[in-house]
Structure 1
Amino acid sequence: MARLEGKVAFITGAARGQGRSHAVRLAEEGAAIVAMDICDQIPTVFYPMAGSDDLAETERLVEEAGGSIVTSVGDVRNLDDVRAAYEAGISAFGKVDIVLPNAGIMPVIGPGEQRQAWHDAIDVMLTGVWHTLEVTVPDLVARGEGGSIIITSSAAGLSSIGLNTFPGQAGYSAAKHGVVGLMRLYAKQLAPHSIRVNTVHPTGVDTPMVANAEYGAFLNANPDVAADESYKNPMPVELIDSVDISNAIVFLASDEARYITGVTFPVDAGYNIR
Structure 2
Amino acid sequence: MGMLDGKVAFVTGAARAQGRAHAVAMARNGADVIICDIGEDVDGLRYSLGTLEELEETAGLVRAEGRRVVSRKADVRSQAELDAVVAAGVEELGRVDVLVANAAINQLKPFWEITEADWEAVVGTNLAGVWRSAKAVMPHLVRQRSGSMVLISSVNGLEPANGYAHYGAAKHGVIGLMGSIALEGAPYGIRCNAICPGFVKSGMTTFQDQLDKYAGHPGATLDVLDDAGRGFHPFNGLTYLEPEHIAEAAVWLSSTAAIAVNGVAMPVDAGHLLVAGKVWRDA
Q: Common fold, TM-score beyond 0.5? A: yes
Cα contact 2:228–2:239 (8 A) shared by 1:
no
**Match of 2:257, as an amino acid?**
E
**Residues 199, 126 of structure 1: alpha-carbon distance in 2 compared, 3 angstrom cutoff:** same
Match of 2:149 in 1: 149
Match of 1:246 in 2: 247
Separation of aligned partners in 1, 2:265 and 2:72: 29
Cα contact 1:47–1:214 (8 A) shared by 2:
no
Match of 2:280 in 1: none
Match of 2:140 in 1: 139
Match of 1:209 in 2: 204
Count of residue pairs the alignment pairs up: 267
Match of 1:180 in 2: 175
The Cα of 1:74 is off from its aligned counterpart by 0.9
How many percent of aligned residue pairs carry the same amino acid?
35
User: TM-score scaled to structure 2, two decimals?
Assistant: 0.88
The Cα of 1:108 is off from its aligned counterpart by 2.0
Separation of aligned partners in 1, 2:173 and 2:247: 22
The Cα of 1:49 is off from its aligned counterpart by 1.0
Find the residue that maps to 1:196 and give its secondary structure: strand
Spell out, residue by residue over 1:220-274, the C-alpha distance to the aligned partner (whole angstroms, 9 max, x if none). 5648xx9999x72222333101110011011101110011000011100111122
Is 1:259 equivalent to 2:234 in the alignment?
Answer: no
**Match of 1:156, as an amino acid?**
N
The Cα of 1:213 is off from its aligned counterpart by 3.9
Match of 2:162 among 152, 161, 164: 164
The Cα of 1:109 is off from its aligned counterpart by 4.4
Separation of aligned partners in 2, 1:41 and 1:245: 24
User: TM-score scaled to structure 1, two decimals?
Assistant: 0.91
Spell out, residue by residue over 1:72-114, the C-alpha distance to the aligned partner (whole angstroms, 9 max, x if none). 1010001111111111101111110001111011112477765
Q: Unaligned 5+ residue runs, structure 2?
A: 219-223, 276-283
Find the residue that maps to 2:127 and give its secondary structure: helix
Separation of aligned partners in 2, 1:182 and 1:112: 26
Find the residue that maps to 1:128 and give its secondary structure: helix
**Match of 1:164, as an amino acid?**
N
**Match of 1:204, as an amino acid?**
F
Cα contact 2:11–2:102 (8 A) shared by 1:
yes
Q: Unaligned 5+ residue runs, structure 1?
A: none
Match of 2:36 in 1: 36
Separation of aligned partners in 1, 2:110 and 2:162: 10
RMSD: 2.3
Cα contact 1:118–1:170 (8 A) shared by 2:
no
Separation of aligned partners in 2, 1:207 and 1:68: 26
Separation of aligned partners in 2, 1:111 and 1:179: 19
Cα contact 2:153–2:171 (8 A) shared by 1:
yes
**Residues 60, 195 of structure 1: alpha-carbon distance in 2 compared, 3 angstrom cutoff:** same
Cα contact 1:102–1:152 (8 A) shared by 2:
yes
Separation of aligned partners in 2, 1:36 and 1:187: 24
Cα contact 1:44–1:114 (8 A) shared by 2:
no
Match of 1:196 in 2: 191
Match of 1:57 in 2: 57
**Match of 1:99, as an amino acid?**
L
Find the residue that maps to 1:11 and give its secondary structure: strand
Find the residue that maps to 1:50 and give its secondary structure: coil
